[in-house]
Amino acid sequence: MDLCISKLRKYYHNKRILDVDYLNIKKEKITGIIGDNGVGKSTLLNIISGLDKKYQGVVSYDGKKLDREIYKNMTLVFQRPRLFKRSVYENIEYPLKLRKVNKIKRKKIIEKIIKRLKISDIKDNKGHLLSGGESQKVALARAIVFKPKLLLLDEPTSNIDDKSTKLIESEILRYKEKENATVIIITHNKKQAERICDEIITIDNGKVVL
Amino acid sequence: MDYILKGFIEALKLLVTLDKEVYKIIFLSLFISSISTIIASLISIPLGVFLGIKEFKYKSIFSRVLFTLMSTPSVIVGLVIAILLSRRGPFGFLQLLYTPTAMIIAQTLLVFPLCMGLTYNLSKNRGKKIDNVGLTLGANLFERIFLIIRELKLDLIINIVTTFSRAISEVGAVMIVGGNIKNHTRVITTSIAMFNSMGDYKKAIALGLVLLLISFTVNSVVYSYNQED
């Protein structure tokens, strides 16, 4: 079963900003959402992630309406990630602590992910003081560390250098393959969407243009 | 001018020679204000954070009422508590009027809206983003409130200091419910008012200096913590 959206309407100050009759996002695939600024891409992601619940319509995953259990298995990386005022290591550790993973196991998982994303040298630095590229990598690490089945990414490589972009892209691809995760990624970069996405959806003026 | 200078010298003497009466007043003040601040903060901070991030009907009206309560005159709070605790009042049987406990109750109620209002405003402006991150990482409501408190720790400490400053510097409520009884309910502010009316400037100045010193110390601690952060 996929992520299904039907008859989705979202209003803001009486203005319809999202109007999606039907949208099917395939499970275990990477779906790219592209479109100009302010067309409703982030709003759609906020609705799927459960951050925005003031909408009309139905959003379901695996045939079930989104509920707490699904949300627990889903995460969203924001365009401007907010890292906590604690070390990079502790930032990544946070979702594992919430899930009561024991300390030894936590350390093992975090060390692996830190190594893969090449952030070992900054693991003791304070999260909120990192540069844009470093923040994006740490935010991605924090998001995938607990292995969510649904990974939502809002422009995860905006304003970062090519090297970091490549690293993040390869990690997204690796994660999807290894965990059989469903990934939805918002991007402005059409080439990036073509590089890593299995499907591409274009949103224009709040409507899906396939 | 001479009497002011003399007052200062005598005040310093009282402090250096550890004058029993003066120090008793200082410790009671610190005790009552600290306990009221702790009680008010423990309840109002989590509640303020929760209400700040929560969307609910009539939130703007709630904000206005809360901000109004933040500046409630202390004599009004003192009067209400005194009526409630007076012998004929509904809680008269507790026999708390003119005790340090009554003073703690009055000060807690006085500073509660202040601490809650400051926290609520902070959480409303800066807590939502943290709440969203917590939510997307799978945190439940309690975990998210704790996360926001931890992330806004420094600002909340400043709120607590502001609350403490209001508590230790207020005179109306503690005067009404405490009665300014020597060796029992006499605190710095009520003493200053009394010594001033008696013309005993050296004690009034000594206690005034202590009040300033407490304020300076507390704010210095917060400032150095702020620099470290």
State whether residue B157 sits within 8 Å of chain A by CB: no
pLDDT in tens, B10-21: 888 888 888 898
For the domain spanning B2-228, the CATH number is 1.10.3720.10
Residue B151: pLDDT over 80? yes
Reported as a pLDDT band with limits 50, 70 and 90, residue B6 is: confident
Q: Which residues 29-68 on chain A approach chain B with CB closer than 8 angstroms?
A: 49-51
Q: Which of A47, A72, A83, A85 to mutate to test the interface with B (most CBs of B within 10 A)?
A: A85
Answer yes or no: do A75 and B137 touch at CB < 8 A.
yes
Give A39 to chain B, closest Cα distance, Å. Answer: 22
Please count the helices (runs of H) and the strands (runs of E) in chain A: 7, 10
Q: What is the dihedral of CA A96, A97, A102, A105, to 10 degrees?
A: 30
Give the closest of B132, B138, B147 to A51, CB-based. B132
Q: Where are the domains of chain B?
A: 2-228
Phi/psi of residue A18, nearest 5 degrees? -145, 130
pLDDT in tens, B209-227: 889 989 898 888 888 877 7
Answer yes or no: do B138 and A94 touch at CB < 8 A.
no
pLDDT in tens, A108-154: 999 999 999 999 999 999 999 998 889 999 999 999 999 999 999 99
Reported as a pLDDT band with limits 50, 70 and 90, residue B228 is: low
Q: Which residues contact B130 (CB under 8 A, 6 or more apart)?
A: A82, B144, B147, B148, B151, B152
SS3 A198: coil
Q: What is the mean pLDDT of chain B?
A: 93
Residue A148's closest chain B neighbor by CA? Answer: B137
Answer yes or no: do A75 and B129 touch at CB < 8 A.
no
Residue A1: pLDDT over 80? no
- Within 10 angstroms of residue A57's Cβ, the number of other Cβ atoms is 16
pLDDT in tens, B20-67: 988 999 999 999 999 999 999 999 999 999 999 999 999 999 999 999
Answer yes or no: do B138 and A95 touch at CB < 8 A.
yes
